[in-house]
Amino acid sequence: MAEIPKDIKKLLFGMGIRWHAMASFIMNCVALVCLLLGIIAAAVGTLGLSADHWLLIAIALIVFALSAWFVAYHAAREGYGK
């Protein structure tokens, strides 16, 4: 595979490896909280939002966290350092 040019790496990896890894970790933690709130909302009846909404928010956060993790992983693999 051809190496990515240095001027393009800034556009691909944005804020850097550490930032994307921390963003992924934080989004995963928030997704777990939303998942728990969805389970509690299903048991109680409602908790601000319905259970479906909490679960959809958790799924969206997990997708965004995975994308941030993939950016961090590929940035580290390419040797990008901020």
Q: What's the DSSP call for residue 18?
A: H
13-59 confidence digits (pLDDT tens):
677 788 888 999 999 999 999 999 999 999 998 778 888 999 999 99
Predicted local distance difference test score (pLDDT) of residue 59: 95
Greater confidence (79 vs 70) lies with 70
Q: Taking the domains of the chain in order of start, what are their residue ranges? A: 6-78
Task: Please say if the pLDDT value at position 10 is more than 70.
Answer: no
Predicted local distance difference test score (pLDDT) of residue 11: 62
Please list, in sequence order, all residues whose beta carbon lies within 8 angstroms of the beta carbon of residue 45, skipping any fewer than 6 positions away: none
Which residue type, as a one-letter code, is found at position 29?
Answer: C
Task: Please say if the pLDDT value at position 1 is more than 60.
Answer: no
Please list, in sequence order, all residues whose beta carbon lies within 8 angstroms of the beta carbon of residue 80, skipping any fewer than 6 positions away: 9, 13, 16, 17
Predicted local distance difference test score (pLDDT) of residue 49: 85
Give CA–CA dist 82/78, Å, rounded.
12
Predicted local distance difference test score (pLDDT) of residue 76: 84
